[in-house]
Amino acid sequence: MNAGPNESASEPRWVACHECDRLHRVAPLPPGGKALCVRCGAFLYHRVSDTLNRCLALNVTALLLFLLANFYPFISLKLSGRIEKNVLLSGAVALYRNGMVETGLLVFVTSFLFPLLTILGMLYMLLPVRFGYRPWHLGTVHRVVRAVAPWSLLGVFLLGTLIAIVKLLDMATIIPGVSFYAFAALVVVSAAAQTQLDPRALWPNENRMQPAFHRGEGTARSLGLIPCHTCGLLVSDPVGGIPAHARCPRCGTALHRRKANSISRTWALLCAAAVLLIPANVYPVMTVIRFGQGEPNTILSGVVHLIEGGMWPLALIVFFASMVVPILKLIVLSFLLITLHRRSSWRPRDRTLLFRVTEVIGAWSMVDIFLLAVLVALVNLGALATIRPGIGATFFGAVVVTTMFAAHSFDPRLIWDYAAAPNPAPERRRNVPPAEEPST
């Protein structure tokens, strides 16, 4: 098969690193090769041979697996002759029925709606482009897919389900259904679909949109360019400032030199997360009722129970995902913000790496919420055994969401802006927060 249409384009193209703003000339890569930023090591682009066909095949497979995963029984629980059957959505529905509307909605959105939107959006873009047509509103759909994809948490849901199964094994018989296997395959296929996509193939023959320039040393900003946050297109930065409501000509994302109000927004979200962390750990996340006797569990006491039951590996996973990750995220993001306030030039590459890791591991905190959803749906056998969700889970879900938003609103390019800028006179600049982009 031929390479993607974009790969035949011979004109020089440029790409700005989304984490440090360094400009790079796009070099031809061997199939499977990937380009990293020379300054911060961030992933820039890769070349996947036959990317359109591969992605199309993987997304069609993902859609079929998604349908299979939702129309067949997910997991069944057998205890003292009684059977509780479940479908994939049972967890979200069970939380909703127990009065946990927000948590139920969070589970529904991250394990059903957003994964489905991602697959359908990809098919909507890939199918026409593959046959040489430009689909209607390609830019808008691309923007939606890019926005929801980080919230599509299929892998985390699978981990939560596996922990629930292991946890219930000594209490009852667990029978995974067709849907469970289809779901596990879906996790693998959709991860492959993401890695096999070279987004440049979606915009064939649109290289000419880039402004012409010949100097490539330095950052996009220093060369008078604004990279689109979503599709990466370089747009000329008008001398008089970006006009209000200026949008990327390719995908329609609002243009900013840096993420708008990044520092204050990240601080606000971090403060909210820190406050929410208290009720999330004080109130019970679930109550296990066996033979009519209830026992409320907080996140920490849940971990202690797992240790007492000899399930060390599970206890470690839950402890790491639910206690260590959210607190570490708060500390790391606060540290990064403080270094920005101090206009620090200390190890910008390491600080960028720290941010990258924080952003990636953040979503895994959701494992406790998914574990709860599966347990509440499965263990619903009246007086024999019932698990009810607690209000702590709502607060914990809110912590995960706010810390994820905080990481999204942090702009790592500010680290490099201040590292490169000469230090201002200390007496005038002390405690003055770095100037941010006006939200144009």
Residue 269 backbone class (left: φ over 0; alpha: ψ -120 to 50; beta: rest) = alpha
63 in contact with Zn ion (CB under 5 A)? no
Nearest-approach distance from CB 42 to Zn ion, in angstroms: 4
Q: How many CB atoms lie within 10 A of CB 431?
A: 6
CB of 255 to Zn ion, least distance (A): 8
Query: What's the closest the beta carbon of residue 43 comes to Zn ion, in angstroms?
Result: 9
Query: Which of 16, 20, 225, 387 forms a contact with Zn ion (CB under 5 A)?
Result: 20
- Told to check if 250 binds Zn ion by CB under 5 A, we report yes
Among residues 15, 16, 17, 387, the one that binds Zn ion under rule CB under 5 A: 17
* The total number of residues written for the chain in this structure: 440
Closest CA to 275 of 393, 372, 396: 396
Question: CB-based burial of residue 303 (10 Å sphere; 0-12 exposed, 13-18 middle, 19+ buried)?
Answer: buried
Contacts of 36 (CB under 8 A, 6+ apart): 42, 43, 44
How far apart CA 9 and CA 6 sit, in angstroms, is 6
Q: Find out whether 401 and 277 touch, Cβ atoms under 8 Å.
A: no
User: Taking a C-beta distance cutoff of 8 angstroms, is the pair 169, 75 a contact?
Assistant: no
User: Which residues inside 349-368 make contact with Zn ion, applying CB under 5 A?
Assistant: none
Is residue 251 at the binding interface for Zn ion, with CB under 5 A as the rule?
yes
Least spacing, CB of residue 231 vs Zn ion, in Å: 3
- 148 is a contact residue toward Zn ion (CB under 5 A): no
| Residue appearing with tokens 């911060």 | 40
* C-alpha dihedral sign at 350, 355, 360, 366: positive
Contact status: 42 vs Zn ion (CB under 5 A): yes
Token pair of 222, please?
A: 């220093």
Interface with Zn ion: number of residues (CB under 5 A): 16
- Give residues 186-245 in contact with Zn ion (rule: CB under 5 A): 228, 230-231, 233
Under the binding rule (CB under 5 A), the answer on residue 40 touching Zn ion is yes
Contact region for Zn ion (CB under 5 A) — 176-184, 249-257, 335-343, 361-369? 249-257
Closer residue to Zn ion, CB minimum distance, 42 or 316: 42
- Write down the least CB distance from residue 313 to Zn ion, Å: 36
In whole angstroms, how close is the CB of 250 to Zn ion at the nearest point? 5
Closest distance of CB 427 from Zn ion, Å = 33
Residues that bind Zn ion (CB under 5 A): 17, 19-20, 22, 37, 39-40, 42, 228, 230-231, 233, 248, 250-251, 253
